[in-house]
Amino acid sequence: MTVKELAEGLALECVCMPEPDREVEGGYTGDLLSWVMGRAQAGDAWITIMSNQNIVAVATLTDVALIILAEDVRPDPGVAELAERKGINLFRSPEAAFPLCAKVAALL
Amino acid sequence: MKELSLNILDVAKNSVKAGASRIVIRIEEADGWRTLSIIDNGCGMPPEFVATVTDPFTTTRTTRPVGMGLPLLKLAAEQTGGDLQIESSVVPPTGTTVRARFKIDHLDCVPVGDYAGSVVTLIQGSPDIDWLFVYNREDGKSVSLDTAEVRQILGPEVPLNLPDVLMWMEGALQFETEQQ
């Protein structure tokens, strides 16, 4: 399933989608960035409530397919532009991480 | 990072890389605040680099495009209502000071963790640097270790990264109640 298809399936709000055709292969959730950095896998949909520029760095390092900001969290100023520049797909949702995870799992 | 000790390990490596011959790592707890200072006499950074150093896409690494040591320390401090300050100078070469403040009773304040283990790991990796470690706890207890002093006692022929020496130093950094 591509990022674009997953985003439509979950009715996510798009912050930026520089790589819509990226394949989504799994999922990960976590907010402690150093922890996520060592565990999220390439191609994962990463669900988090963290919103600063470091999430773009973690996404770059782990090569996740997209970031989903849960619970209506908004990216900090400048983060959307940074994500676009670094080729990171970034979305947001009003739902909490748990139901989002369940839906991602059901779709994949 | 789940522990401040892991941040220390990451950030102190920058000082080693800056060619420092003396590195001071100090944790001071007072009035509800924990302040971590990492002070080196290395090559320093020009002001334009200091301004961007907490941006994760700024790094001197060549193996990957992202450096997370200082960005994560800054995040950890700010999550508790604290902050991170960096002072550095190339001309004159006065080295670099990184200072992070944490509000101790904040829910998102991570524990100090295995401070002695991190210290010993750093000494093991760079035994020829003069390391000074000081931890003054809020309860008034404190531990410290000065490797220049240790070297003087042991003599120049004993490297500090011998297993027995490392174990002794790790023990010297334990607070009394933690000792077996």
ipTM for the complex shown = 0.73
pLDDT of B61 reads 58
Contacts of A36 in chain B (CB under 8 A): none
Mapping DSSP onto H, E and C, the string for chain A reads CEHHHHHHHCCCEEEECCCCCCECCEEEECCCHHHHHHHCCCCEEEEECCCCCHHHHHHHHHCCCEEEECCCCCCCCCHHHHHHHHCCEEEECCCCHHHHHHHHHHHC
Helix axes B163-172, B147-154, angle to 10 degrees: 130
- CB-nearest partner of A34 from B1, B57, B66: B1
Number of neighbours of residue A26 by Cβ within 10 angstroms: 16
Tokens 């409530």 identify what position? Answer: A49
Mapping DSSP onto H, E and C, the string for B69-121 reads HHHHHHHHHHCCCCEEEEEEECCCCCEEEEEEEEECCCCCCCCCCCHHHHHHH
Nearest CA in chain B to A55: B56
pLDDT of A8 reads 98
Domain residue spans of chain B:
4-178
Mean pLDDT of A39-48: 98
User: Which amino acid does the sequence have at B174?
Assistant: Q
In the stretch 54-93 of chain A, residues with CB closer than 8 A to chain B read 54, 56-58, 60-61, 82, 86
Q: Is the dihedral of CA B25, B28, B29, B34 positive or negative?
A: negative
Contacts of B65 in chain A (CB under 8 A): 60
Q: What is the spatial distance between Cα B72 and Cα B67, in angstroms, rounded to a whole number?
A: 9
Q: Is A42 near chain B, with CB under 8 Å?
A: no
Domain residue spans of chain A:
3-107
Q: Is A31 near chain B, with CB under 8 Å?
A: no
Nearest CA in chain A to B3: A34
Number of neighbours of residue B72 by Cβ within 10 angstroms: 24
Nearest CA in chain B to A38: B1
Q: Is A49 near chain B, with CB under 8 Å?
A: no
DSSP bridge partners of A14: A91
> B126 by DSSP, 3-state: which?
coil
Q: What is the spatial distance between Cα A8 and Cα A30, in angstroms, rounded to a whole number?
A: 23
Q: Which of B66, B80, B84, B109 to mutate to test the interface with A (most CBs of A within 10 A)?
A: B66
> B22 by DSSP, 3-state: which?
strand
- For A3-107, CATH gives 3.40.1390.20
Q: Could you tell me the CATH superfamily of domain B4-178? A: Histidine kinase-like ATPase, C-terminal domain (3.30.565.10)
Q: Is A98 near chain B, with CB under 8 Å?
A: no
pLDDT of B51 reads 85
Contacts of B71 in chain A (CB under 8 A): 53-54, 57
Q: Which of A37, A52, A54, A63 to mutate to test the interface with B (most CBs of B within 10 A)?
A: A54
Q: What is the spatial distance between Cα B94 and Cα B22, in angstroms, rounded to a whole number?
A: 12
Per residue of chain B (180 residues), give pLDDT as tens.
Answer: 889 999 999 999 999 999 999 999 999 999 999 999 999 999 999 998 888 888 888 766 555 545 788 999 999 999 999 999 999 999 988 999 999 999 999 989 999 999 999 999 999 999 999 999 999 999 999 999 999 999 999 998 999 999 999 999 999 999 986 554
Mean pLDDT of A93-102: 98
